[in-house]
Structure 1
Amino acid sequence: GPDAAGGRTALWARLPWGVLAVRTVAGPGCGDVTVAAGELLDTLSSGVGGLPVRRDAQWRWPLPPPASRSVELLPAGELWRIAEAAAGTLREAAAHGVAGRAVGQRVLRDALLDHVAVVVTPDDPPGAPVEIAQRLVQGLVRMGFLGRPGDGDTAAAGPGAGAGGGDVQVRTAGRWVGLVGPYGAVWSQKVVDLAVMPLGTHPKV
């Protein structure tokens, strides 16, 4: 959606593993519009102008609230290390199994993405620990929001970037947890635990 005051537009996308990614770019937007990313890229590359076919009904995910709280700064290098270790673990498990047993690729991937890679505890004000799942780390790295390994100190800190160039902000907004890097951010909503009860014992009121 557009930010009329700043002349900037936020581009949101949902990644295949359930993380929302956002990059803010200069220039006024066209309102709250949903289009296919590939079609948008083709349109922009052609220089024709306008937007591709709108797909507003296909966007079904909530966005985090606009106001969020910074709870910690993480070095970009540490997130690179975590992402690379996860990729190595996936390769090793795919090649040799887990505890000598073959495991399906999807099961491996889902277990790895759900793994809590980092836990931070806010100091000011004190708060509950904030869990950062591997899916957030992978989203930040795979979207290129950290830049390249080793260039954290020279990254141009854009709007929303963590202090110190290569640092990454851990932010919270209600049930949302986000990582804000030098070139963009990723957000994940904590799943609400649901209880499933047989209808026979709990009739509708």
Structure 2
Amino acid sequence: MIPPDARADVGAFAYRLSRLDPLAVVRLRPAGPGLVQLWGMLPFKVLASRTIAAHLDGDVTLAAADLLARLDDPELPPPVRRDSAWMWPLPPMNVPAVEGLPVDEVVGLARAAEETLRTASAEGVGDRPVGERVLRDALLDHVAVVVTAEGGRSVEIPQRLVQGLVRMNFHGSGRDGLVTVRASGSWKGLSGEYGSTWLASTSPLRLS
């Protein structure tokens, strides 16, 4: 299912996803001739996606740990399908770009938020102690970037999209590179060199 020349990319995706959530699942979805999209839900409550060159007849969902194990040892028996574990809708294909942000700026936003969390956890807020989970949720919901889409509509990018992109190492290493802000309907996303993170303003109970 995973050709040899795509195993490194699949392994990187499944490994980082597993480090953030040991029980994570990966959805593999055909995305056109010779292309397959990998999808996972991050603890930041955003979707992560990466596209690889491969062929797949239909959707399949697997435990990220099982996928990693088969990449290391292709002789293992096929993993148990976990299709019923996938509960999240997916954004439409080819969501249009709105604006490009310098990679260094995006990485700086992620690091500043992490430093704020460490400081607030140690010193409290307004001289009052605050639980780390409350602080983390507040920081993830904080609007890190606002860009203007066609027609003048503002697109607010919360810190959780930024954190997801950077923690999955999707932003890439090029100092002169860009992270693309994308938006369509209720969906907004950040696309880097190696993948994208996505969030919908509503969460309908349906599958894509």
TM-score of the superposition, structure 2-length normalised?
A: 0.80
Residue of structure 2 in register with 1:136 after alignment: 161
Instruction: For 1:49 and 1:29, locate their aligned partners in 2 and report how far apart those are by CA, in whole Å.
Output: 19
Matched, 1:83 2:94: no
Cα RMSD of the aligned pairs, angstroms, is 1.5
Instruction: For 1:50 and 1:20, locate their aligned partners in 2 and report how far apart those are by CA, in whole Å.
Output: 28
Residue of structure 1 in register with 2:175 after alignment: 152
Following superposition, the deviation at residue 30 of structure 1 comes to 4.8
- Unmatched segments (≥5 aa) in structure 1: 154-165, 193-205
Q: Is the 8 A contact 1:3 1:28 kept in 2?
A: no
> For 1:139-195, what per-residue CA distance to the aligned partner results, in whole angstroms no more than 9, with x for missing partners?
0000010134xx334xxxxxxxxxxxx101101121000101000000001137xxx
Matched, 1:106 2:133: yes
Letter aligned with residue 139 of structure 1? G
Residue of structure 1 in register with 2:14 after alignment: none
How has the CA–CA distance of structure 1 residues 4 and 73 changed in structure 2, closer, same or farther, with 3 Å as cutoff?
closer
Higher helix share: 2
How has the CA–CA distance of structure 1 residues 176 and 49 changed in structure 2, closer, same or farther, with 3 Å as cutoff?
farther
- Unmatched segments (≥5 aa) in structure 2: 1-28, 204-208
How many residues align? The count is 175
SS in 1 for 2:61: coil
1:37-76 aligned within 5 A: 37-48=64-75, 51-76=78-103
Instruction: For 1:188 and 1:117, locate their aligned partners in 2 and report how far apart those are by CA, in whole Å.
Output: 14
Instruction: For 1:2 and 1:51, locate their aligned partners in 2 and report how far apart those are by CA, in whole Å.
Output: 19
Instruction: For 2:40 and 2:92, locate their aligned partners in 1 and report how far apart those are by CA, in whole Å.
Output: 16
Letter aligned with residue 33 of structure 1? V
Instruction: For 1:44 and 1:30, locate their aligned partners in 2 and report how far apart those are by CA, in whole Å.
Output: 19
Larger-gyration structure (1/2): 1
Identity over aligned pairs, percent? 54
Residue of structure 2 in register with 1:167 after alignment: 178
Instruction: For 2:78 and 2:178, locate their aligned partners in 1 and report how far apart those are by CA, in whole Å.
Output: 34
TM-score of the superposition, structure 1-length normalised?
A: 0.81
